[in-house]
């Protein structure tokens, strides 16, 4: 995935995520998460319409590992574009939205803890 342009990679992964069965869809979602971690905010905005349906579908999957990977991918998207993700999640049920928010908060806490600890080391 790292040798292909992130945008191209996502265009290839989206149909796989939406149509493939477990465990292919799981691998594709995990790869997409890695790609999202290195994509620009602008590119991600342009691809949201392609990405979100597959992740919402994955969030409803019977396999818990696929649901979990979908949540982590949504968290990765949130960490790039922030609150702008929320309108795309309108169809999520209350409990699924709460769970996603919990993971988002946890990711933010982890990120701020790691950055604050690195800040401490740079000052000393």
Question: 39, 80 in Cβ contact below 8 A?
Answer: yes
pLDDT in tens, 41-52: 999 999 999 999
Q: Check residues 43 and 117 and name the one with the higher pLDDT.
A: 43
52 neighbors 81 (Cβ within 8 angstroms): no
Contact by Cβ (8 Å): 73, 55: yes
Is residue 75 within 8 Å of 107, Cβ to Cβ? Answer: yes
Q: Which two tokens stand for residue 95?
A: 């409990």
Count helices and strands in the chain by DSSP H and E runs: 5, 0
- Are the beta carbons of 73 and 36 closer than 8 angstroms? yes
For the segment 62-89, the average pLDDT, to the nearest whole number, is: 96
Structural domains of the chain sorted by starting position, each given as residue range(s) with its CATH number in brackets: 6-106 (1.25.10.10)
- The rounded distance, in Å, linking the Cα atoms of 34 and 32 is 5
DSSP 19: H
Distance from C-alpha of 22 to C-alpha of 61, rounded to nearest angstrom: 9
88-115 pLDDT per residue, tens: 999 999 999 999 999 999 998 887 776 5
pLDDT in tens, 28-42: 999 999 999 999 999
Q: Is the pLDDT of residue 4 over 90?
A: no
Q: What is the pLDDT of residue 2?
A: 56
pLDDT at residue number 122: 38
Mean pLDDT of 66-84: 97
């Amino acid at each position: 995935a790292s040798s292909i342009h992130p945008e191209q990679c996502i265009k290839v992964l989206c149909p796989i995520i939406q149509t493939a069965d477990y465990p292919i869809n799981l691998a594709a979602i995990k790869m997409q998460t890695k790609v999202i971690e290195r994509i620009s905010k602008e590119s991600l905005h342009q691809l949201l319409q392609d990405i979100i349906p597959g992740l919402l579908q994955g969030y409803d999957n019977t396999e818990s590992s696929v649901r979990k990977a979908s949540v982590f991918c949504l968290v990765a998207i949130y960490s790039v574009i922030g609150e702008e993700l929320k309108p795309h999640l309108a169809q999520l049920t209350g409990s699924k939205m709460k769970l996603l928010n919990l993971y988002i908060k946890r990711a933010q806490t982890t990120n701020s803890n790691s950055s604050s600890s690195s800040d401490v080391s740079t000052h000393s």
